[in-house]
Structures are given as C-alpha cells and as structure tokens.
Structure 1
Amino acid sequence: MNISPEALAELRRRLLEAEETLRAIREGEVDALVIGMADRPQVFSIGGDTEAFRAFIEVMDSGAAAVDQAGRILYANGHFKQMLKAGTNDLQGVLLDDLLPGDKARDLLVAGRPARTALEIALPSGARHLIMASSPLQLGTVAGYAITLTDVTERIRAERAEQSELIAQSIIASVNEAVLVCDGAGRVTHSNGSARAILGVDPAGARLADLLPLRPDAASGFKDTAGIVEAALGGKSLRGIEVLASQAPGPQEFLISAAPLDVPGAPGSGCVISIFDIANRKALERQQHLLMGELDHRVKNTLALVLSISRQTFRHSESYRDFEAAFTSRIHALSATHNLLSKNAWTGLSVHDVIEAETAPFAGSNRARIEMAGLDRHISSEAAIALGLISHELVTNAVKYGALSMDAGRVIVTARRDSLSHPLVIEWRERGGPAVVPPTKKGYGQTVITQSMQFAPGGDTSLDYDPAGLVCTINIPSALVLS
C-alpha cells in the first residue's frame, strides 16, 4: 500500500500527540479527557478530580458517599458512617443494600434520575430519622451515584411535639372538668375554659400555690399546694384535696386532683391539675350536719316520750298483761306517725293522714263509720306526733267504751278556724254509742289526750262528756300550723 508523504507526516504527528497524552496522564498533568461520541462528546475526569471530590465530601456537614452502579460503596465520609452506625469501619466495597433495611437501596439507585427515601435508625440514644437522596454521578471513568444523608430527627420531633401540643390543647379544651397544666416550677402553662370560668381569671403564669391554696382545715398531709405539685412531678397521682380560690366569682371551695404530665423523653416536666366544684357537696354536708343534729334531738325526745309512756302505762295498769297490751298499742301508734313523717322527710303532715293512720287499725270493715271532713291542713312534725297519740287514745276508747263499740255508732272528725291564736281547731265527736258518763278516776289515756298538745304555747285539748257522745276539742296553735 502506497502512502503519500503528506499522509505519513500526519500519522507521525498524531502518534506523537498520543504518546504525549499518555505521558501527561501518567504524570498527572491531565485533568480530563474529551472523547468524541456519535451523538455528543463524553467527558471523563482523571487524576486530581477524584481526590478533590473526596476532600469535598469529607468536610460536608451531612453524610455523603459515592457508589457504583451496582450499589457498592466507593467512598463514604465520617458522617455517613456515623449515621448508619458503621463507626470507624471502612465501608469501601460494601453493598449499600447491606446497610439499609428492606428495599431501600433498590428505591435509591434509579438509573438516570435522582431519588430519595426515608430511614429510621435505632441508636442507643433513641431513634434517628434520616432522609437519603441519590443522584447519578460520573466519577472518572466510573458511572455511579452520589448519596447524601440528612438527619431530620429534630425537625420530626419538633413537628410531633407541635402536633402533640395541638392535640393536648384540644383535649384540655374539650373536657368538661376544669383543667390546669403546670410546669416543673409549679406555674400554670395551660388552662381550659372551664378552669378560667370558675377561677374568674386567666391563670397562665400564676403559681398554683398562690392560685389555689390549701384549706386551713384540710387534712391533706401537705403544707401547701406546692407540695402537691412536687409530689406529682415525682410521679405520684393524688386525689380529693380541698383547696380555696378566694378570687373566684362564685363558689370558692374546690377539690383538686394532680397527676404527672407524661411527656416522652422528659419525665417530671410538669403535672396536670383537675379542679372539681364542691359547693353542692359542701351544702349537702352542712345540711347533713343540721339533719344529724335534728335527728339527735328527735331521737332523744322520742326516747323520753317512750320512757314516759312506759312509766305512766305501768302506773295505770292493773296487771303485767294489761301493761303489755296498752304499752305495745301506744308504741305502735307512735310508730305509725313516725313512719308517715319519715316518708315525708319530716316536713310535716296533713291532719287527715295522721288521723287516718291511727284509726285505720281499729276501724276494720267499719271504716265508713269514721267520717272526716276539712282535714287537709298541714301541721308540724311535733304537732303530728302529739295528734297521733291523742287520736290513738280517742279511737281506742271509742272501740272499747264509746261509739265504735256499737253497730250504730259513728265518729265525726272535722276542722275549723277558731281565732288568730288557734287557726286550727279539730273536733272529735261521737254519736250513736252508749250514754257517756264522766269517769270516776283519771287514767293515763285521759292524761295523754288532755296534755299531749300542751308542749307548745297555746296548744291544749279539752274533753266534753256529753251523754249523747264524747266530744274532744283539740286546739293547735299557729306556730304548729304549716298551711
């Protein structure tokens, strides 16, 4: 083959250029090669660029690494190793797939385009949240990926804390009970509408010890409310401690409960205080105290009355059998009135109910023979007990000796207004029975009838031994008439 002198000279020139290029590459004088391709030139970095790349990623604040197309690590900086718990181990040649859970590496190494994935790495100090991103990289003659790791743990924690704060505020605002949240220093940081309403102020920033001091007489075991906060911060839950709120516009007596505020990673950072209005309970306690005093008084009076009935019945009884029958009958009469008063909460009774209760056991099938009219007036409990005893003695006498001892006999009980001093006069009148003869001696039953109502000023009872039938007039003073 014949080559012209010009062509030969051109080949020699190109050979010299190639030899010079190889020498320059060997000696590090060339940074890159540009090779012509069919569609576009391809640039390959050579020599010093690789070292510059390594130096650059080593000083990066985030984790960084370079991997080849198979996912094998070419280089990783110290942050990258630390974030993936690799420590000081050399990761060169390690497959990225071996360091990441699941298919995370496969998700990252996407040819021709950037990709990213989220990671959660468990460390002794707690879970760390990372964002790993990849981008195609041409490093010298090697094609691969640039990998970066960004720690977003604090951002996620902040977002979760903010979300938790919003949830906590929503819960506090939605509960019916009054709720306060205190920090580690015992100062109020949060409160709901119920708490602000009953306290009358916005308590934010106030010390709980100043806002809700302990009741002086409360047996709580604490010197002040600050001790309650301290106990709650230490993990104790407390209930039913009485406090005062002098600035409250309404009731000022409250019960509080305290519980530690459970914040992950921050134990003892605060406590939750629930406030309960006990005004109704205190009112009930005061009422109960009054009722207990009243009950004590009534029991003593009842026992004294029973004792008096026992003694007087015994004095006027001819035998033990007579005493037993009379005493039992009178105690039953007293019990009947007490039962009615108990059902009516000792607020008084109508005259009709008292007389009906006392006469019913004796009337039997002849109930129609006892006529009652105008007895709808109400009297006090003391007057009801006295009227019950009087009615019992009258009906007992009527059955034994009076109108109810004969088939044609009957009893008419009526009420009228006599005067301002005696707004209620009850008349017991018997008709159709045997002729009435005044007794030759005074028995206990007569004493009960005539003296039972005299416990109150203006109260008295009189007996008229009319031959046509006994008449008993009972004057109940205005102090004992309720309606």
Structure 2
Amino acid sequence: MMGTGLDLRGLRKDGSELQVEISLSPHLTGDGMVVVAAIRDVEAAKRLQELLVGELHHRVKNMLATVISITSQSLRTAQSLEEGRSVVTSRLVALGRAHDLLLESKWLGAKLSDIIHDAVEPFDSHHVRRFVVQHTPVQIASEVVLPLTMSLNELCTNAVKYGALSTATGRIDITSTVDAKAQRLKLTWTESGGPAVQEPTRPSFGTCLINGLADQLHGKVRLNYEPTGLVYELDIPLARSPGT
C-alpha cells in the first residue's frame, strides 16, 4: 500500500534474518509518476518495543497484585463496610500519588522531600502546622518510592485514629539522615501532643504492612510506643542490591 510501512523479514549477507519495514511513496515528476521504495531496518526498534511491552506488562501485573492485596486485607480487618471503604480509598490514593511521582521522573526515582510532602499533605492542616520535617536532600530510587510512600500513609492514618493527629495540639516530627558511605537512609517519625500511647496486644494489618514494606526494602524498622507518642524508625538501603 502506498505510503504505508509493511513489516517483512529480510536476510543479511551472513544468512541471518532481520526485520525490515518497506514503504512506497509516489512522486509526480516531469517524466511521469515515480515510486520510491524505502527499506528500513527496524530490528532494534522492534526489540525495544518488545522490551517496553514486557516491562509494562510486568508493572501492570504488580500494580494489580498490590491493589488486590490492599483491598482484600483492608476489608478483611475492617469493622464495618464504611471503615473498609475509607481505608481502601486512603491506601489506593497513596498508591496513586506514588505512581504520579514516578511518572513525573520517568520511573527514575523521586526526591525524598516530594515523597514526604505528597504523603503527609492530605493529613496536614492549613491553620496549624502539624508536621515538622527536617530531611537530608536525597534522590530515592524508583523501587523504594512506593513502599516508602505506603509506609508514611499508614503512619498518617494511624496518627489520625489513635495518635498525634487525633487531637488539636498533636504534632509529628519527621527527620532523616543519609549514610553516604553505606548508602543507607535513616528516617524517624516522632509523635507528640496526642493521647497516651500503649503498645497494642496484637499487631494490626497496618503494623504488619509497615513491617512487610521494610522487609521488602531489605531494611529495618522499629516501632516504639512511648508514653508521649509513637516513634517509628526506618533504616533502609537507598537502592536494592543487584538481582534482588
């Protein structure tokens, strides 16, 4: 068909196959109609396209698995349908915000400041400063962005229900340091001004999720239920080791 690329298989001099695209373009000249045939090697482009489709398929599968897990676990532990709806919505919104950050950077990662801002912004007050953030400027690898965002969302949700954000005077301090030599991030979340805190008799799904996300990042997490408020300490590598 004129002007339309047609994919065909060709042969190189050594007998190996290659994928080519052939297109025909008509041109009117003084001597009449001339048809120009163009043959383009598209082997590399097709291979790249297959890789991109495969990567997209992998990410979509992971996303669906995450959504299914969040939904089923949230509904399983909810005390009512309304509570389940609220918890699922909050977690999926956090998931969406994390993906927005990754899309903006073409999946190259995100700044820690942006991750923290997007995680706490829905829970902050425009009238009273509830969050005090002191962090080290650092770029977070793409595979760390999602679990870190989800962990912060769980902490915010817990603070609204039981912690510093359940009172008008509570506040949360978020600090971070980076060990440049070891390439590790240490983040601390400290609540104060809320009701007296007691360690739960059994871990909630949110607590299990926080611990599971830390394991996913090959990191360490500590939850200290101090009388003055919850203290969460996270120690993770800035990027996963190759092959993990």
8 A contact 1:241–1:257 mirrored in 2: no
**1:14-55 deviation line (CA, Å, top 9, x unaligned):** xxxxxxxxxxxxxxxxxxxxxxxxxxxxxxxxxxxxxxxxxx
Counterpart of 1:433, as a letter, is: G
8 A contact 2:144–2:238 mirrored in 1: no
SS of residue in 1 equivalent to 2:79? coil
**1:248-272 deviation line (CA, Å, top 9, x unaligned):** xxxx9665535488675xx89xx55
**1:329-363 deviation line (CA, Å, top 9, x unaligned):** 21112122122222222221122212211211111
Q: Which of residues 83, 107, 129 is equivalent to 1:346?
A: 107
Q: Would the alpha carbon gap of residues 474 and 286 (structure 1) be closer, same or farther in structure 2, given more than 3 Å must change?
A: farther
SS of residue in 1 equivalent to 2:212? helix
Deviation, 1:442, is: 1.3
Report whether the alignment pairs 1:240 with 2:1. Answer: no
Q: Would the alpha carbon gap of residues 239 and 323 (structure 1) be closer, same or farther in structure 2, given more than 3 Å must change?
A: closer
Give the TM-score normalised by structure 1: 0.43
Counterpart of 1:465, as a letter, is: Y
8 A contact 2:143–2:239 mirrored in 1: no
Report whether the alignment pairs 1:452 with 2:241. Answer: no
Q: In the aligned structure 2, how far is the partner of 1:418 from the partner of 1:385?
A: 21
Residue of structure 2 equivalent to 1:479: 239
SS of residue in 2 equivalent to 1:293? helix
Query: Which residues of 2 match residues 375-414 of structure 1 at below 5 A?
Result: 375-414=136-175
Deviation, 1:468, is: 2.2
Query: Which residues of 2 match residues 284-295 of structure 1 at below 5 A?
Result: 285-295=46-56
State the percentage of identical aligned residues.
35
SS of residue in 1 equivalent to 2:87? helix
Q: What stretches of structure 2 of length at least 5 have no aligned partner?
A: 14-18
Q: Would the alpha carbon gap of residues 401 and 422 (structure 1) be closer, same or farther in structure 2, given more than 3 Å must change?
A: farther
8 A contact 2:140–2:238 mirrored in 1: no
Q: In the aligned structure 2, how far is the partner of 1:239 from the partner of 1:295?
A: 27
Residue of structure 2 equivalent to 1:308: 69
Report whether the alignment pairs 1:257 with 2:20. Answer: no
Query: Which residues of 2 match residues 407-446 of structure 1 at below 5 A?
Result: 407-418=168-179, 423-446=184-207
The alignment's C-alpha RMSD in Å is: 3.2
SS of residue in 2 equivalent to 1:328? helix
Deviates more, 1:420-429 or 1:322-331: 420-429
Q: In the aligned structure 2, how far is the partner of 1:297 from the partner of 1:423?
A: 27
Q: In the aligned structure 2, how far is the partner of 1:283 from the partner of 1:440?
A: 58
Deviation, 1:241, is: 4.6
Q: In the aligned structure 2, how far is the partner of 1:459 from the partner of 1:374?
A: 19
**1:424-471 deviation line (CA, Å, top 9, x unaligned):** 111111223222211122111111111113124x22322111222211
8 A contact 1:253–1:277 mirrored in 2: yes
Residue of structure 2 equivalent to 1:470: 230
**1:181-215 deviation line (CA, Å, top 9, x unaligned):** xxxxxxxxxxxxxxxxxxxxxxxxxxxxxxxxxxx
Give the TM-score normalised by structure 2: 0.80
SS of residue in 2 equivalent to 1:365? coil
Query: Which residues of 2 match residues 19-418 of structure 1 at below 5 A?
Result: 239-241=4-6, 255-257=22-24, 259=26, 264=31, 272-273=35-36, 275=38, 285-366=46-127, 368-418=129-179
Q: Would the alpha carbon gap of residues 329 and 261 (structure 1) be closer, same or farther in structure 2, given more than 3 Å must change?
A: closer
Query: Which residues of 2 match residues 8-23 of structure 1 at below 5 A?
Result: none
Counterpart of 1:257, as a letter, is: L
How many residue pairs get aligned? The number is: 235
Q: In the aligned structure 1, how far is the partner of 2:3 from the partner of 2:87?
A: 60
Q: Rg: which structure is higher? A: 1
Q: Would the alpha carbon gap of residues 254 and 246 (structure 1) be closer, same or farther in structure 2, given more than 3 Å must change?
A: farther
8 A contact 2:136–2:178 mirrored in 1: no
Q: Would the alpha carbon gap of residues 273 and 242 (structure 1) be closer, same or farther in structure 2, given more than 3 Å must change?
A: farther
Counterpart of 2:24, as a letter, is: S
SS of residue in 2 equivalent to 1:364? coil
8 A contact 1:402–1:430 mirrored in 2: yes
**1:106-156 deviation line (CA, Å, top 9, x unaligned):** xxxxxxxxxxxxxxxxxxxxxxxxxxxxxxxxxxxxxxxxxxxxxxxxxxx
Residue of structure 2 equivalent to 1:461: 221
